[in-house]
Structure 1
Amino acid sequence: MEITEHIEALDREGRLLVAAAESAGTGARVPTCPDWRVRDLLRHTGMVHRWAGAFVADGHTSYHPDKGEPDLDGGDLLAWFREGHRWLVDTLTTAPPDVACWSFLPAPSPLAFWARRQAHETTVHRLDAESARDGTADAVGASAPDFAITPEFAVDGIDELLLAFHAREKSRVRTDRPRVLRVRATDTGTTWTVRLSSGPPVSERGETAEADCEVAGPAARLYLSLWNRLPMPGVSGDESVATLWRENSAVTWR
C-alpha cells in the first residue's frame, strides 16, 4: 500500500474511533480490552498519536519517550483526541518523503513506517471503540460483515504483525517444541507460514513448510483475530498452536 493510502486510512479510522467512543461514553467498558474503559482507550491512542507525530514533526533520530496520558475525561478528552489525531494526519500529509527520523520496524522509509503503523494502530483501536459502543466483543463490526476493513488493508496489517512485530526479540510467542502455524486468507488467497520455536517467530509469505495448525478465514477476520480482538476462525490441525498464539501474542505498549 502507498503512504497516501495509509494516511487516508488513519484519517478515516480516527474519526470513526472517536465517533464510536462518543456514542459509547467515556465510562463504558471496552469488551475487547477488558481492563479498559473508553477513557483509557482514548487516552492511550491519543498519546500514541502525539508520540508518533513528534518523531516526524521534530525529526527525532533516536527514541524519545512519550509525554504520558492526560488526566482528562468526557468532552475535554474527546476534543483532545480529535486535536491530536488531526495533527498527526496533517503532519504525515505535509512531511517530506525523505524525512529522517527514528522508527522501529522495517519499512521503505520512516514516513512509510509511521503512516502504516498509525493506520493499523488506529484501526484496531477503532474496533475496540465499536465494541464499547455495541456492548460486546461479539458485536465488533456487526454493522458490516467485513468490519469496514478491506482485504488489501487487512493483508497489509497481517504482514506487519507477522513479518515485523513478531520477528523482534520482544515477541513472547515461543515454544520448546518447534511448531508451524499456517495463516490463510480465504478471500485473497494469501498465505503465511509462521515457524515457532524457542526464539522469535520466523514468518514468510507462502506455504513454505508443512503446518501443524492452520487458521483460515477472510483477511479482515484474520487480521482482528491475530490482534486478539476476535476468536480464531477456521482452526484445523493441532489447536494448541493457535492457543499458543492467542495466549502469548499480545503486543503491549511497555
Structure 2
Amino acid sequence: MDVSRHIQVVSDEGLLLVRAAEAAGLGAKVPTCPDWEVRDLVRHTGMVHRWATAFMAERRTEFRLGGGLPELDGAELLDWFREGHAALVDTLTGTPPDAECWTFLPAPSPLAFWARRQAHETTVHRTDAESACGDTVSPIDAEFAVDGIEELLLGMHSREKSRVRAEEPRVLRVRATDAPAERTWTVRLSEGPPVTERGATAAADCEVSGQAARLYLALWNRLPFPEVSGDPALAALWRERSAIVMR
C-alpha cells in the first residue's frame, strides 16, 4: 500500500471513530478495551494523533513522550479530537517524502512510517469506538488488513520490547484465507523477540487462520481467533502477552 492510501485511511477512520464515539456516548463502556470508557479512548487516540503530528511538523529526530491526556469532556473533548485528527491528516498530506524525523520501525521514509502507523492506530481504535455502540463494525478491506498483519508481525513484534516469548522454541502459523492470494506467516517463538517470516517456512505447532480482517483484529486482541488448530496454548500465549504499549 502506498502513502496516499494510508493517509486516506487515517482521514476516513478518524471521522468514523468520532462519529461512533458521539453515538455511543462518552460514558459508554468499550467492550474491546474493558478498562476504558469511550472518553478514555478518545483522549488516548487524540493524544497519539498529536504525538505523531509533532514528529513530522517539527522534524523531531529524537524520541519524546506524548503529551498528557486532556481533562476535557463532552462536546469540547470531541472537538479537541477533531482538531487533532485534522491536523494529523494535514501534516501527513503536506510533509515532503524526503523529510527526516524519528520513527521506530523500518520504512521507506519517515512519512511512509507515520502514515502507515497512524492508519492502523486509528482503524483499530475506530473498531473500539464502534464496539461501544453495539452495532456492526464497519468493514476493513482485506488488502489493508494484510498490511496491518505485516506491520504487527514483522514490525511491532520484532522489537525487543515484545513480550511474546516461549521458554522452548515453538512455531505459530498465521494464515489469511481471503487475501487476493492466500497469505501465510511463520512466527518463530523463543526466549527472544518473535521472528516472523513470510510463507510456511517451518512446521507449525499451532495455526490461527481466517479472513484477513477478522484475523487482523484478533491479532490486536479485539476479536477471538476465527480458527485455531494444533496446540491452543500458543494462541492463548499470544492473547496474554501481545498487548502493545507506547514506548
The answer to whether TM tops 0.5 is yes
Instruction: After TM superposition, give the deviation of residue 161 of structure 1 in Å.
Output: 0.2
Other-structure match for 1:144: none
Other-structure match for 2:142: 151
Q: Does 1:249 align with 2:233?
A: no
Instruction: After TM superposition, give the deviation of residue 133 of structure 1 in Å.
Output: 1.1
Other-structure match for 2:184: 191
In 2: Cα distance, 1:47 partner to 1:153 partner: 24
Q: Does 1:181 align with 2:172?
A: yes
Other-structure match for 1:122: 122
Aligned partner of 1:212: which letter? D
Alignment of 1:76-87 (within 5 A): 76-87=76-87
Other-structure match for 1:27: 27
- Summarize deviations over 1:132-153 as a string: whole Å, max 9, x none: 111xxxx551xxxxx4111100
Alignment partner of 1:9: what SS? helix
Other-structure match for 1:233: 226
Aligned partner of 1:228: which letter? N
Report if aligned partners of 1:127, 1:140 keep a CA contact under 8 Å in 2.
no
Q: CA RMSD in A?
A: 0.8
In 2: Cα distance, 1:223 partner to 1:18 partner: 22
Aligned partner of 1:75: which letter? A
Q: Does 1:166 align with 2:157?
A: yes
Mark the runs of 5 or more structure 1 residues left unpaired by the alignment.
142-146
Other-structure match for 2:44: 44
In 2: Cα distance, 1:161 partner to 1:204 partner: 12
Instruction: Name which of structure 1's ranges 58-67 and 4-13 shifts more when overlaid on structure 2.
Output: 58-67
Count of aligned positions = 245
Instruction: After TM superposition, give the deviation of residue 67 of structure 1 in Å.
Output: 1.5
Aligned partner of 2:90: which letter? D
Aligned partner of 1:127: which letter? T
Other-structure match for 1:74: 74
Instruction: After TM superposition, give the deviation of residue 36 of structure 1 in Å.
Output: 0.3
Identity of aligned residues (%): 69
Q: Determine which of 203, 214, 223 is the counterpart of 1:210.
A: 203
In 2: Cα distance, 1:250 partner to 1:81 partner: 24
TM-score normalised according to structure 1 size: 0.95
Aligned partner of 2:109: which letter? S
In 2: Cα distance, 1:177 partner to 1:60 partner: 40
Instruction: After TM superposition, give the deviation of residue 253 of structure 1 in Å.
Output: 2.4
In 1: Cα distance, 2:196 partner to 2:205 partner: 14
In 2: Cα distance, 1:22 partner to 1:208 partner: 46
Other-structure match for 1:5: 5
Instruction: After TM superposition, give the deviation of residue 233 of structure 1 in Å.
Output: 1.1
- Summarize deviations over 1:202-237 as a string: whole Å, max 9, x none: 001100000000011000000000000000111001
Mark the runs of 5 or more structure 2 residues left unpaired by the alignment.
none
Other-structure match for 2:90: 90
